[in-house]
Chains A and B, each alone.
Chain A
Amino acid sequence: MSDIVLDIQDLTISLPKGADRPSAVTGMNLTLRAGEVTCLIGESGSGKSLAARAVLGLLPAPRVRVTSGRILFEGQNLATIAPRDMAKIRGARIGMIFQEPMTALNPLHRIGRQIEEVFRIHTTLGRAERRARVVKLLADVHLPDPEKIARSYPHQLSGGQRQRAMIAMALALEPKLLIADEPTTALDVTTQAQILHLIHELQREHGTAVLFITHDFGVVADIADQVAVLQKGVLVESGPRDAVLNEPQHPYTKALLAAVPRLVVPDRPATEPGLVVLEAIDVAKSYAARGLFVRGRATRALDHVSVQLHRGETLGLVGESGSGKSTLARAMTRLLGIDSGDIILEGEAITHLAPRAMRPHRRRIQMVFQDPYASLDPRQRVADIIAEGPIIHGVAAKEAQARARRLLGLVGLDPSAADRYPHEFSGGQRQRIGIARALALEPDVLVADEPVSALDVSVQAQVLDLLADIKAKLGISMLFVTHDLRVALLICDRIAVMRHGSIVEIGPAAQIFSAPSHPYTKALFDAVPGAAWSAHMPVPAE
């Protein structure tokens, strides 16, 4: 067929000795056609990013390299092409965008200069012409005031704006192929929807073939024409989007799809609202940029927020980055000082307690953090990590250690894990350890700050199950911070939607879902990737 842009044949990428498997990608076959978006989906470590980088010859050679197979593009085999010829293709015939718009641009160069660089490398255009093209490109990706953006440095733009600039740069010379490596993963959900829309629009306009790397089936549902599923370096299933999403053939695809949180409220018995355990009354917090002589503008992180957490309920704090959801959670645990307002724990104001007076209350509110890699002390054994809290609060060391082992059983880990160190565990297992640590103090309130957002979907589902299970078993209350509405619906009884430091809407999960009253809540639901697909998706039979 003549419209084939990229033909990957039997591609194998080897990993250095000592890696968990001999090759990152094994015998992969994939064909990309002009005007189509092909999504390569897989969990972390599946080799999807390396496969994409192999196309552009960006593997971290010589440790990781293509050992066999061909990558055919415009009659050339990119797997064996000379570096000099490869450089001519990069940026001109194949463009690429990356996951982290924060770091993918040189922080010291202006946006305009970085885009202009593409023209300087590949064309003989004059200075004025290059400048004009840059401004036009920035306008094409719908950036406001392109002249000003061109003069800006990366740190002066938002994440979404930077990603638009990256797209402008990748598409500068109208390449035949665009490789997008998780381009929306680091963005807020409404920004993600806009960027997906933009990629779709530009790709249709120019007939570009797109290789889109993602881990999110919602994104696949929104943007893909073709889907290829990668499991530990092996392509297990590929085909048109609807076929793969609605009638998956391979057990791995089925399992992945089953783990995707649906945009529905699961049937579950309504919890009887108990007494108020933890309450924030009119809490305000702002961050002022202040110097000795200069007074900066204050950023209002919490704008007089009041919220109540009842015994035995899970309250979700949902919002985009900068909405104040994490700030509120931290303020309610008194990990963060507040400017005004009150925090009440079971009828007692803890707002102004001195550190010493606060200490006995600390036990009653425990946190689970987002990053399972950074939140456990790497030099302590798991048993010591879990037992440390109880020992501080006066439990005998022996008793605390025994309790730690019981807790490991409760969170679904083998008690033998107690004698090992955190680095020996996977992300999901570490998050279980984190939960066990929080539970060791027998808290009344568990505050979970994005506890699953760093995890793969299948692991995410397991950890969410565990949290729901523990809540039911122990009857504790949970404050659940998340940016993901799907996750919030799955686990929360009530949801508070936050924006600009205020709660714009609060109510039972079912009501927020079926009848959102605030326009922002509606916008959030609309922006959830794969919203339409998710709603109609039949729940696969187990």
Chain B
Amino acid sequence: MTASGRPSPGRRADHLAISRHIRPGELVLDVGCGDGQLMELLQQDRGARTRGLEVEQAGVNRCVAKGLAVVQGDADRDLPVYPDDAFDAAILSKTIQEMARPKFVLGELSRIARRVIVSFRNYGHWRVRASLLTSGRIPALGANRAWWSDGARRPCTARDMAELAEELGLSLTAITAASGATGDRRSLTRFNWTAEELVFVLERGERPGALLSAAPEPSQHDP
């Protein structure tokens, strides 16, 4: 996927933010791995073992030619190809907002991997809120384009993402902004105001929803 509106020649900031949550030697699935940049980074910097899932033929061929293991498939449909607990971590790098079935995909990933790492654009950022409040328009994050030509198919905020995680019984154990700032579940409100891109580390099981229900900022969504 090439969801980034800011093509950068070097390493993507969100990739670096993701890599901090991967431990050496872990087996990692990168969903929507494109041409394998993140997998290369994880191998080089973290000594991780990687597998990719990519829908586009060109990306698949480039991964294969780099010696990266990649399965051609569509995350919305083909995740059942992976068995339970096959991976230490599964990564959705700026793809969840492009999915037809984000809840299904996230649920599948939490079945496949103990830890799911999701990076996404945060539409809760103050500029978005200010723009909506003052002009009634959503600014295109990261790009100066019209809403129909760029941006997420499913714009959501950090709090929205946390809500989906809770719905699936996943704990939000760490938050990292693409800027490098880190925090945990208690920092959600601050990050929701200040971060344009976020990385969530979601873990299955132990304390389903407990932290979210204790969140200081009350939910503004209907139950």
Say whether A and B bind each other.
Answer: no
Residue numbers of A with Cβ under 8 A of B are none
Residue numbers of B with Cβ under 8 A of A are none
